[in-house]
Amino acid sequence: MRNYLLVGIGGACGAMVRYTMNGWLKGVVGNFPLDTFLINLSGSFMLGLFLTLLTRRNSAQVELRLLVGTGFIGAYTTFSSFTNEVLTLLRSENWLLGLSYSLASLVGGMLCVWAGYLGAVMLEGGLKKTKATTHEIKLADEAQPISEGKK
């Protein structure tokens, strides 16, 4: 039950920050959904930074991963809004913009996760490690099930 509470608290905070950011970034530039694009890119950076710091410190802090990674960052970013905006662009026959937005989001998101990773590595003292250990890969895998009560 505690794990669900951690995800819920993190998710509520992430959703509120996302809502606030949407208000600040305010919608669309031309037909381009800039708010969702920037939120998803910044969330990708945050997730790359956070998970890398967690794994490089060999920390198995499940609670922190659930609160921040799954909860906060998971609610802050939004795949559903992104896909709806792409569909809206395609249905309004903005083919080039819809496909460009899709490609820019995918490539930009991967670059931002990479930038977050590099930022974390630099914070931790540079590129000393070149290969992730099996422990790090398992810890960083958001899809890995986490049992109740395990630390």
Going by the annotation, the residues of the binding site for Na(+) are 74, 77
Query: Which candidate, 142, 12, 15, 10, places its Cα nearest to that of 76?
Result: 15
Residues annotated as binding site?
A: 74, 77
Length of the chain as a residue count: 151
Secondary structure in 3-state letters for the chain: CHHHHHHHHHHHHHHHHHHHHHHHHCCCECCECHHHHHHHHHHHHHHHHHHHHHHHCCCCCHHHHHHHHHHHHHHHCCHHHHHHHHHHHHHCCCHHHHHHHHHHHHHHHHHHHHHHHHHHHHHCCCCCCCCCCHHHHHHHCCCCCCCCCCC
